[in-house]
Structure 1
Amino acid sequence: MDESFCVMEYCYIKPINRTYKYISIKAKLLKTPVTKIKLNFAMYKRVNGYLPFLYNITVDSCRFLKNTTSQPIAKFFYELFKSHSNMNHTCPYDHDIIIDKLSTSYLNYKLTEVLPVPEGQYLVQTNWYAYDILRVSVGFYIKIVLTCV
């Protein structure tokens, strides 16, 4: 949204073989340090278009990272990528933001076993605000299919 503030260097899903795929994202911050960040996170399910589904929350990220137990829903989604990211500390951020080799099978497990999301097509929309200005918008389109083995 604001290329003078942040540039997405890459954002991809890399298939290694038929069963293993991973997600990698790198956002280069051009105006550092960043000391005020908000995240709006919303889920939509595809039913004759994308309609709101379960969550639409906005979190003050700097405050949340000081006490992750304060927002249980945000904590669940933060823990999906925390171990694969350098976003595991509180503000200020004076470096690039990286999510590296986040396994899709791990996400599948968390979204079907831990939080049993029903089958369907979903959009997970994230809007990142710095200093109350929309800087980055990232949407993840996912399809959840339950299989019997």
Structure 2
Amino acid sequence: MTNAVCESLNKSWVVTNQCRLKAVQRNKTTLNIGLTILHPANDIYMRLQLLKRANGYKPFLVDYTINACEFIRRRNQPVIKVFFDLIKDFTTMNHSCPYVGPQGIKDLYVNPAKIPVPLPTGEYVVVQTWMFDAKPQLYSKVYFTFIEDF
């Protein structure tokens, strides 16, 4: 991971407390995101995009919008499940809706060997847009560089 950007689009609903990368070793970086949801959120949708850098960031492989509350109950979206399986041990967002209060990701490290989809070498960004009651409330962008090992 090379950079992390988080922004609350509605500070009366979601407050971003922390959004940073921490270097643990020379080639290992962990992600920490802390946020506080000020009002109960029951109708949550998430748009997940994977963009690859090629004269600007272009859509690559993934662009899904899902009902996050339904996904947590049933885990019925195979592509989103791949991403969730990478973060589920590091996040507090692993219970059913409603969400309120402190939420986040702590010390997330994604081992490249655990990525089940072969990615070509390049620079990528994972963009998440969180919508509560059909209005964008929060977005996060996590930039990373992936190098294929043969």
Instruction: Give structure 1 stretches of 5+ with no counterpart.
Output: none
User: Is the counterpart of residue 13 in structure 1 residue 21 in structure 2?
Assistant: yes
Structure with the larger helix share: 1
Between the aligned partners of 2:28 and 2:124, the Cα distance in structure 1 is: 21
Query: Of residues 82, 87, 91 in structure 2, which corresponds to 1:81?
Result: 87
TM-score scaled by structure 2? 0.89
Using the aligned pairs only, state the percent identity.
Answer: 30
For these two proteins, the number of residue pairs brought into alignment is 142
| Alignment-mate amino acid for residue 14 of structure 1 | K
AA of the residue aligned to 1:13: L
Matches within 5 A, 1:111-126: 111=115, 114-126=116-128
Secondary structure of 2:66's counterpart equals strand
**Highest RCO, 1 vs 2 (Cα 8 Å, sep ≥ 6):** 2
Aligned to 2:62: 55
Q: How does 1:1-149 map to 2 (within 5 A)?
A: 1-31=9-39, 33-68=40-75, 70-104=76-110, 106=111, 108-111=112-115, 114-147=116-149
CA distance in 2, matches of 1:93, 1:13: 24
What amino acid sits opposite 2:31 in the alignment? Answer: I
Q: Which runs of 5+ in 2 are unaligned?
A: 1-8
**1:63 positional shift:** 0.8
SS of 1:76's partner is: helix
Secondary structure at the aligned position of 1:45 is classed as strand
Query: Greater strand percent: which structure?
Result: 2
Q: For 2:24 and 2:122, locate their aligned partners in 1 and report how far apart those are by CA, in whole Å.
A: 25
